[in-house]
Structure 1
Amino acid sequence: MSKIMNVSALELLHHMKLTCQIPNVLEAIATRRIIAEAVKKAEITVEQKELQQAADSLRLANRLVKADDTWAWLQKHYLSLDDFEEIAQTNLLSAKLANHLFADQVEKFFVEHQLDFVGAITYEVVLDEEDLALELFYALQENEITFPEIARQYIQEPESRRTGGYHGIRYRRDFKPEIAAAVFAARPPQVLKPIITQTGVHLIWVEEVIKPQLNEQLRLKILGDLFSAWIKQQLEEVKVMAQLELDTQKLAKPA
């Protein structure tokens, strides 16, 4: 039979101090206050139907399919049903505030940063020797070997080898600058001439370059990025202090 160990709120706080978590917690609390004040100023309200949808989304995000799953999750995180509703409401108000502040700026931001949203589907093999990379590159040009065959022979990491060096959809920010310039100037499908970086010699097959479209998914991402930048700016303008009784002498000099 397992023993029950009780932990006090004071002990929890002490642990957070010792593990240097206080600054992150203070920032989270400040963020909640900033959002609450902005919501009040903008006179944003929540309807019961919207709150129910937000609660359903919260359950879905945490895979709480059954009522028993929800109860177990609440107990694990020491939450009540009121707490759950408050989390859902905070999420909803944050989304509505983001929309209120930046909905009319999304299209302009997309147009101004369109290049950042261009994606590329690539396969990559990183080699140690430039001569070998060039030899393989010219062999590909002559159809003497295929890129999957090169990947099977020269990629050491098992999972990457099995997928032929596939890197999925990546964006300009995901590549080193010298590689990005070549990838997004390619005419797919195209194998790029080997590119040398500090990591090694990159042999890259550009399968497709995907031009961006302002769909709902991208709109929400841009909206979220603009809102996060706004929150960061608001945090920089305030100094958050915790009302804790700290023994400064003990903090300054270890016992």
Structure 2
Amino acid sequence: MLKVLNVSGKEMLEQLKLSCQIPGLLDAIATRQIIFDAARSAGIKVEVQELQQSANSLRTANNLLKAEDTWTWLQKHHLSLEEFEQLAEINLLSAKLANHLFADKVESFFYEHQLDYLAAVTYEVILDDEDLAWELFYALTEGEMSFQDMTRQHIQNPELRRTGGYRGIRPRKDFKPDIAAAVFVANPPELLKPIVTTQGVHLLRVEEIIRPELDQQLRLKIMSDFFSTWLKEQIAQIEVIPHFESDSYSPTVQELLKLA
């Protein structure tokens, strides 16, 4: 039989303090207020049909495919239906505000930063001995061994060894600068000469260079990045002052948020 533990608002506040989560909580409150205020100033409104679509997207994102799944999720998070609608509304307002503020900046930004969105498919072995790396490089280029054979002999990590050193699809920013400089001028499939970094000596096979396209997914990502930066700038201009009640804890956004 389950035991029941009654938890008061004061105890929840105390736990938030002890787990050092108050700053994040206050930033979240400030963020919501900023979005509501900016949307109101821009004349952005939420239509009933749009809100329903946003709610459906929220359910899909949380894998709430059945009505009972939704009810269970709401109970777990102590949310009412009205509060679930508020979640859907803030998501929708955020998307519409981001589009209002930054939709016309995406294309020019993309073309100015195309190199940042390049990606590559690579296989890699990292060695400790540069002489060994060159020896293996020449053996590979002369066909004395395959890259797969080399990875089986020189990769210690079992998972990486099983996949032949496959590193997946990685954007340019995930490569060290000196490695990126070699990878993104390669003519795939191409084995690169050994590259020495602080991590070791890298032997890389570049399988594919993936050129970026400004599709809807990338457009939304760029807009989201713009929006996140904008929100941080707005929060930096706000002083958030919490007022803690000694006997009860039921602050409103207005009590927690004070503009500098």
TM-score normalised according to structure 1 size: 0.94
**How far, CA to CA, are the matches of 2:239 and 2:112 in structure 1?**
33
Q: 1:93 Cα shift?
A: 0.6
Q: Note if 1:231 corresponds to 2:231.
A: yes
Aligned to 1:130: 130
Q: Give CA-to-partner distance per residue, 1:202-237, whole Å, 9 cap, x none.
A: 111111111111011100100100100111111111
Q: Give CA-to-partner distance per residue, 1:128-156, whole Å, 9 cap, x none.
A: 11111111111110111111221222111
**How far, CA to CA, are the matches of 2:56 and 2:158 in structure 1?**
39
**Which letter does structure 2 place at the counterpart of 1:145?**
M
**How far, CA to CA, are the matches of 1:159 and 1:57 in structure 2?**
35
Q: 1:36 Cα shift?
A: 0.6
Q: SS of 1:13's equivalent? A: helix
**Which letter does structure 2 place at the counterpart of 1:99?**
N
Aligned to 1:81: 81
**Which letter does structure 2 place at the counterpart of 1:137?**
F
**How far, CA to CA, are the matches of 2:202 and 2:218 in structure 1?**
30
**Which letter does structure 2 place at the counterpart of 1:241?**
I
Q: 1:94 Cα shift?
A: 0.3
Aligned to 1:176: 176
Q: Note if 1:72 corresponds to 2:87.
A: no
**What percent of counterpart residues are identical?**
63
Q: SS of 1:201's equivalent? A: strand
**How far, CA to CA, are the matches of 2:51 and 2:144 in structure 1?**
61
Q: 1:96 Cα shift?
A: 0.3
**How far, CA to CA, are the matches of 1:228 and 1:149 in structure 2?**
45
**How far, CA to CA, are the matches of 1:41 and 1:74 in structure 2?**
32
Q: Give CA-to-partner distance per residue, 1:93-137, whole Å, 9 cap, x none.
A: 100000000000000110111110011111111111111111111
Q: SS of 2:209's equivalent? A: strand
Aligned to 2:43: 43
Aligned to 1:159: 159
**Which letter does structure 1 place at the counterpart of 2:243?**
Q
Aligned residues: 246
Aligned to 2:108: 108
**How far, CA to CA, are the matches of 1:69 and 1:151 in structure 2?**
46
TM-score normalised according to structure 2 size: 0.92
Aligned to 1:53: 53
Q: 1:180 Cα shift?
A: 0.9
**Which letter does structure 1 place at the counterpart of 2:48?**
Q
Q: 1:47 Cα shift?
A: 1.3
User: 5 Å matches for 1:242-253?
Assistant: 242-244=242-244
**How far, CA to CA, are the matches of 2:241 and 2:163 in structure 1?**
50
**Which letter does structure 1 place at the counterpart of 2:200?**
G
Runs of at least 5 residues in structure 2 that lack an aligned partner in the other structure: 247-260
Structure 1 runs of 4+ aligned residues shifted over 6 Å read none
Root-mean-square deviation over aligned CA pairs:
1.1
Aligned to 2:250: none
